[in-house]
Structure 1
Amino acid sequence: MPATRIIGEQKERLAEDYLTRHHLQLIARNHRCRRGEIDLIMRDGETLVFVEVRFRHSSHFGSPAETVDRRKQQRLTLAARHYLLRHPTVLPCRFDVIAISGQDRIQWIKNAFSLEDDPHY
């Protein structure tokens, strides 16, 4: 397994642990479809949360959160729709970003974007 994938998995576990400590419940990890992948799917009370985990050793080329650009948001939206087709819910949904930098400093961006931000919605 490539080193970048190992680091990615470690950071996803770190994010999962962080969110669990903040009382979110894990539903699924690494939901993949042809169009994209959702790192973590969790439940925050009565809300289904699709979580994107981003890591950067340094912010020299931008912060981890800045890497979730419009294109990445569209891929996450498509992957979330794929998940919802297979696992229908009446719960409201949101997209969160866990940005991890440097010495595992975590920034949790709740409701980072929404399905309505997607022009194809």
Structure 2
Amino acid sequence: MRGWGGRQQPGASTRVRGAAAEDMALAHLLRAGLRLIERNYRTPGRGGGEIDLVMRAPDGTLVFVEVRARASAAHGGAAASVGAVKQRRIVLAAHHYLLRFGAPPRCRFDVVAIEGTHIDWLPAAFDAG
């Protein structure tokens, strides 16, 4: 299998590659001043959603982050793979996550797209509407 940057990663599973991409995205966001709140938040039951990273921005905004990685930008690239169905699942999971708050904080949905070794952070990539 090919890893990020075209390096061979014998036996690397999709889960391992996904975790590596999340590690890269997390490091990038931490350097930008965000703080990790939770990783891989999942709603209970079938058909729910998952949020790769829940972060807090310096201004207090709660940031729900979807991490997408592709070996290259071919076929639309990593960011383009966050389609309407995936967005709905992330929004559903965010609504469930926000139930723990009496008064929900300001929120946004970001995407971190990784193509090869290039990281592209897209703040407010989509909204809950």
Q: Is the structural similarity TM-score above 0.5?
A: yes
Post-superposition CA distance 1:52-73 (Å, at most 9, x none) = 0000012222110000111110
Please list, as runs of the form range in 1=range in 2, the aligned pairs for 1:18-37 lying within 5 A after superposition.
18-33=28-43, 34=45, 35-37=48-50
* 2:128 maps to amino acid: L
Which ranges of 4 or more aligned residues in structure 1 deviate by more than 2 Å?
A: 86-90
Q: 1:44 to 1:10 in 2, by over 3 A?
A: same
Give the whole-Å Cα distance in 1 for the aligned partners of 2:93 and 2:33.
24
TM-score (norm 2): 0.84
* 1:66 maps to amino acid: A
* 2:119 maps to amino acid: I
Greater fraction strand = 1
For structure 1, which runs of at least 5 residues remain unmatched after alignment?
117-121
Q: How many residues align?
A: 115
State yes or no: 1:69 paired with 2:83. yes
Give the whole-Å Cα distance in 2 for the aligned partners of 1:57 and 1:88.
41
Let me know the Cα RMSD of the aligned residues.
1.5
Please list, as runs of the form range in 1=range in 2, the aligned pairs for 1:40-79 lying within 5 A after superposition.
40-45=53-58, 46-79=60-93
Deviation at 1:83, TM superposition (A): 0.7
* 2:125 maps to amino acid: A
| Percent identity of equivalent pairs | 49
Deviation at 1:87, TM superposition (A): 4.2
